[in-house]
Amino acid sequence: MGQQREPVVQVRDLTYSIGGRPILDRVSLETHRGEVFGVMGMSGSGKSTLLRNIMGLVRPDSGDIRIEGQSIIGLNERELNRVRVKMGMCFQYSALFDSMTVRENVLFGLRERRDISPSELERKCAEHLEIVGLAGTEDQMPAELSGGMRKRVGIARALITQPSIMLYDEPSAGLDPVMAAVIDRLILRLSADFGTTAIVVTHEVDELFGLADRVMMLYEGRAIVCDTPEALRTSDNQVVRQFVEGAAEGPIEV
């Protein structure tokens, strides 16, 4: 239980703006070892930007972000890279390297590992493609894959370095319900078996409630609530209620 409560990602009063327009406004969160932490919100509410801040891809205006206790604020790119090796990120639009084959994409994170033999690399690649249901696609180019297949290759690529923290940006967008369920089960298995901490960003409420231990809702750049899925389902907050129920009428301004 002590290990379960170990903070892994801590965000304190994170504020981020683009061109003077606030995207995130004093957002705070804390995730623990092995936890699946969900972030939901309308499109443009700052969910993806929150992940990009946590990965250190953008620099916040103010606030603090700690990864396994180490603050990433003020680190240069090379220092950030030493923190990033603990994390994997599944991008919303896959972000596969389109000049490389599926094999080269999946093995990219291991390309400098001289201690792994080519046959072992091949085995790892096949194993991770199998996990995401894409066995035998090693020699295909990303352009030959569907959007859902590209998404799954992106997940395999992120998982191959066995990061202790996984950031998923809309992991099931573009996937059919069966494959979305497979990916959700994979996220849960990684957390249960390997203690991987997952932060899952999505606007798919049902998926997130079936997946996450806790869910935070972002609205207009602010974290308006953070609680268990059960508590959010019965929340008195009108914004949360409208979002969870998917109602057209309510306080959310469209």
Partner 1 sequence: MSLRGESPHFSLPGGASLLSATGRQVIAFFSYFGETTRLQLDILVGLVKGRLEYKTTIAEMAFVGVASLPVVAVTMIFSGMVIGYHMAIVTGQLGVSNYAGRVVAETMCRELGPVLVSIVVAARVGSAMAAELGTMKVTEQIDALRAMATSPVDYLALPRWVACGLMVPTLTFVGDIIGVTGGYLMAVLMPELNAGAYWTHIPGTFEAYTLVAGIGKSAVFGIIIAIVGCHQGLTCKMASEEVGRATTRSVVYCIMLIYGANLFLTALIFRG
7 makes contact with partner 1 (CB under 8 A) = no
Region of 20-28, 50-58, 128-136, 210-218 interacting with partner 1 (CB under 8 A): 50-58
60 makes contact with partner 1 (CB under 8 A) = no
Region of 2-10, 32-40, 49-57, 185-193 interacting with partner 1 (CB under 8 A): 49-57
In the complex, least distance from residue 127 CB atom to partner 1, rounded to whole angstroms: 19
93 makes contact with partner 1 (CB under 8 A) = yes
In the complex, least distance from residue 154 CB atom to partner 1, rounded to whole angstroms: 8
199 makes contact with partner 1 (CB under 8 A) = no
In the complex, least distance from residue 69 CB atom to partner 1, rounded to whole angstroms: 19
Q: Which of residues 128-187 bind partner 1 (CB under 8 A)?
A: 157, 161
What values do phi and psi take at 210, rounded to 5? Answer: -85, -5
Cβ proximity to partner 1, 103 vs 214, nearer residue = 103
121 makes contact with partner 1 (CB under 8 A) = no
Say how far apart CA 254 and CA 117 lie, in whole Å: 54
Q: Cα 127 from chain centroid?
A: 21
How many C-beta atoms lie closer than 10 Å to residue 193's C-beta?
Answer: 9
**According to CB under 8 A, which one of 1, 19, 43, 78 is a site residue for partner 1?**
78
Say how far apart CA 77 and CA 135 lie, in whole Å: 35
81 makes contact with partner 1 (CB under 8 A) = yes
Number of amino acids touching partner 1 (CB under 8 A): 25
Three-state SS for 22-89 is: EEEEEEEEEEECCCEEEEEECCCCCHHHHHHHHCCCCCCCEEEEEECCEECCCCCHHHHHHHHCCEEE
55 makes contact with partner 1 (CB under 8 A) = yes
101 makes contact with partner 1 (CB under 8 A) = no
| DSSP code at position 145 | S
Do the beta carbons of residue 137 and residue 145 sit within 8 Å?
A: yes
Residues that bind partner 1 (CB under 8 A): 52, 55-57, 77-78, 81-82, 84-85, 87-89, 91-93, 95-99, 108-109, 157, 161
